[in-house]
Amino acid sequence: MSAPAGMTVLDPTDETTPQQRERLARPESLAGLTIGLLDISKPRGNVFLDQVQNRLLDLDAKVIRYSKPTFAKPAPADLRHEIATSCDAVIEALAD
């Protein structure tokens, strides 16, 4: 599935060379899925993720919390690998 007409989706890991990627189909339900919550270490991101976690638990999802060492750099490769191999989906907190 591609982005809706008039919408451009950019990969924030490298703005100089945006790549085309197909969006994955959304799951019918989050029940039973493992959702990773990634705090990028900006102020109050954890507050936002606390609320997201409560909502996900209400939907019977399993939640695993992760945190980047700093918001100024991409997540370390080992952290990205752990999230990719442990989670069905991930939500990042970009709040300030």
**Shortest CA distance to 2 belongs to which of 25, 18, 35?**
25
Spatial CB neighbours of 81, under 8 Å, sequence gap ≥ 6: none
Query: Given this model, what pLDDT does residue 54 score?
Result: 98
Task: Indicate if the pLDDT at residue 1 is higher than 60.
Answer: no
Q: Where are the domains of the chain?
A: 34-93
- Going by the DSSP 8-state scheme, the letter that residue 88 receives in this structure is S
pLDDT grade for 34, boundaries at 50, 70 and 90:
very high
From CA 46, how far away is CA 38, in angstroms rounded? 9
pTM to 2 decimals?
0.74
Reported as a single tens digit per residue, the pLDDT across 52-86 is: 999 999 999 999 999 999 888 889 999 999 999 99
